[in-house]
Structure 1
Amino acid sequence: MLSERVRTILLSLPMLVLFLLLPACGGGGGSPGTPGPSPTPPGATTGNLAVVTSGLPAGANASVRVTGPNNYQQDLTGSQTLSNLATGSYSVAAAPVTVGGTTYNPSPATQSAVVSAGGTATATITYGGTAVNITLSEVVSNLDNPTWLTAPAGDTRLYVLERPGRVRIVENGSLLPIPFLDIGARVFTGGEGGLLSMAFDPQFASNRYFYLYYTDPQQNIVIERFTAGSNPNLADATSGLVILRVAHPNFTNHFGGQVAFGPDGHLYLGTGDGGGAGDPAGNGQNLNALLGKLLRVDVRNATAGQPYTIPAGNPYANQPGRRAEIWAAGLRNPWRFSFDGSQLYLSDVGQDRREEVNIGAADAVGLNYGWNTMEGTLCYNAATCDKSGLTLPAFEYDHGTNDANGCSITGGFVYRGSAIPGLAGRYFYSDYCRGFLKSFLASGGNITEQREWNIAAIGNVVSFGQDGQGELYLLSSRGTVHKIVRAAQ
Structure 2
Amino acid sequence: MLTGHLRGLLRLFTVLLIATVLHACGGGGGSPGTTGPVTPTPITTGALNLTTSGLPAGVNASVRITGPNNYQQDLTQPQTISGLAPGSYTIAAAPVSANNVTYQPAPASQTASVAAGVTANASVAYSGAALALTTAEVVTGLDNPSWLISPPGDTRLFVTERRGRVRIVENGVTRGAPFLDIIPRVGFEGEGGLLSLAFDPQFARNGYFYVYYIDLQRNITIERFTVGQNPALADPTSGLVILRVPHPDFLNHMGGQVTFGPDGYLYLGTGDGGGAGDPQGNARNLRVLLGKMLRIDVSRSTVTQPYAIPPDNPYRDGVAGRPEIWASGVRNPWRFSFDGDRLYIADVGQDQREEINIAATSQGGLNYGWNLMEGIACYGADNCDRNGLTLPAYDYAHGLDDVNGCSVTGGFVYRGRALPELTGRYLFSDFCRGWLKSFYASTGGAVAEERNWNIPNIGRVVSFGQDNEGELYMITSGGSIHKIVRTGAQ
TM-score interval for Structure 1 and Structure 2 normalised by the shorter chain? 0.7 to 0.9
SS in 2 for 1:422: helix
Q: Matches of 1:137 and 1:364 in 2, distance apart?
A: 37
Q: Are 1:144 and 2:120 matched, yes or no?
A: no
Q: Matches of 1:389 and 1:97 in 2, distance apart?
A: 40
**Residue 475 of structure 2: aligned partner:** 475
CA-to-aligned-CA distance 1:18-45 (integer Å, 9 cap, x gap): xxxxxxxxxxxxxxxxxxxxxxxxxxxx
**Residue 451 of structure 2: aligned partner:** 451
Q: CA deviation at 1:95?
A: 8.3
Q: Are 1:309 and 2:308 matched, yes or no?
A: yes
Q: Are 1:237 and 2:273 matched, yes or no?
A: no
Give the 5 Å matches for 1:40-119: 55-56=55-56, 96-99=96-99, 101-103=100-102
Q: Are 1:202 and 2:201 matched, yes or no?
A: yes
**Residue 327 of structure 1: aligned partner:** 326
**Residue 272 of structure 1: aligned partner:** 271
Q: Matches of 1:132 and 1:145 in 2, distance apart?
A: 32
**Residue 488 of structure 2: aligned partner:** 488
Q: Matches of 1:96 and 1:370 in 2, distance apart?
A: 42
**Residue 27 of structure 2: aligned partner:** none
Distance verdict in 2 for CA 1:197–1:394, change over 3 Å: same
Q: Are the aligned partners of 2:55 and 2:61 in contact in 1 as well (CA < 8 Å)?
A: no
Distance verdict in 2 for CA 1:54–1:137, change over 3 Å: closer
TM-score by length of 1: 0.76
Give the 5 Å matches for 1:80-479: 96-99=96-99, 101-103=100-102, 129-320=128-319, 322-382=321-381, 385-444=384-443, 445-479=445-479
Q: CA deviation at 1:278?
A: 0.4
SS in 2 for 1:338: strand
Larger radius of gyration: 2
Q: Are the aligned partners of 2:271 and 2:333 in contact in 1 as well (CA < 8 Å)?
A: yes
CA-to-aligned-CA distance 1:252-273 (integer Å, 9 cap, x gap): 0000001000000000000000
Q: CA deviation at 1:454?
A: 2.1
Q: Matches of 1:218 and 1:182 in 2, distance apart?
A: 18
Q: Matches of 1:205 and 1:227 in 2, distance apart?
A: 11
Q: Matches of 2:430 and 2:324 in 1, distance apart?
A: 30
Of the structure 1 ranges 346-355 and 448-457, higher mean CA displacement relative to structure 2 is found in: 448-457
Q: Are the aligned partners of 2:95 and 2:102 in contact in 1 as well (CA < 8 Å)?
A: no
Q: For the aligned residues, what is the CA RMSD?
A: 2.8
Question: Matched residues, percent identical?
Answer: 63
Q: Are the aligned partners of 1:458 and 1:478 in contact in 2 as well (CA < 8 Å)?
A: no
Q: Matches of 2:98 and 2:281 in 1, distance apart?
A: 43
Q: CA deviation at 1:321?
A: 5.3
CA-to-aligned-CA distance 1:344-365 (integer Å, 9 cap, x gap): 1110001111101111212211
Q: Matches of 2:342 and 2:370 in 1, distance apart?
A: 21
Q: Matches of 1:185 and 1:455 in 2, distance apart?
A: 38
TM-score by length of 2: 0.76
Q: Matches of 1:372 and 1:126 in 2, distance apart?
A: 56
SS in 2 for 1:402: helix
Q: CA deviation at 1:382?
A: 2.8
Of the structure 1 ranges 178-187 and 360-369, higher mean CA displacement relative to structure 2 is found in: 360-369
Q: Matches of 1:275 and 1:63 in 2, distance apart?
A: 54
Q: Matches of 1:440 and 1:330 in 2, distance apart?
A: 24
Q: Are the aligned partners of 2:428 and 2:437 in contact in 1 as well (CA < 8 Å)?
A: yes
Distance verdict in 2 for CA 1:108–1:371, change over 3 Å: farther
- Structure 2: gaps (5+ residues): 1-52, 63-75, 78-92, 109-123
CA-to-aligned-CA distance 1:439-488 (integer Å, 9 cap, x gap): 11112432222111122221100100001111111110111011111221
Which one-letter code corresponds to 2:375 in the other structure? G
Q: CA deviation at 1:396?
A: 0.7
- Structure 1: gaps (5+ residues): 1-52, 65-77, 80-92, 110-124
Which one-letter code corresponds to 2:133 in the other structure? I
SS in 1 for 2:204: helix
Q: Matches of 2:127 and 2:310 in 1, distance apart?
A: 48
Q: Matches of 2:184 and 2:383 in 1, distance apart?
A: 44
Q: Matches of 1:425 and 1:126 in 2, distance apart?
A: 27
Distance verdict in 2 for CA 1:319–1:456, change over 3 Å: same
CA-to-aligned-CA distance 1:89-132 (integer Å, 9 cap, x gap): xxxx9984442x433569999xxxxxxxxxxxxxxx99863211
CA-to-aligned-CA distance 1:131-162 (integer Å, 9 cap, x gap): 11222111111110000000111211000110
Q: Matches of 1:96 and 1:189 in 2, distance apart?
A: 47
Which one-letter code corresponds to 1:370 in the other structure? G
Q: Are the aligned partners of 1:255 and 1:273 in contact in 2 as well (CA < 8 Å)?
A: yes
SS in 2 for 1:382: coil
Q: Matches of 2:438 and 2:460 in 1, distance apart?
A: 17
CA-to-aligned-CA distance 1:221-276 (integer Å, 9 cap, x gap): 00000000110100000000000000001100000001000000000000000000
Which one-letter code corresponds to 1:277 in the other structure? A
Which one-letter code corresponds to 1:262 in the other structure? G
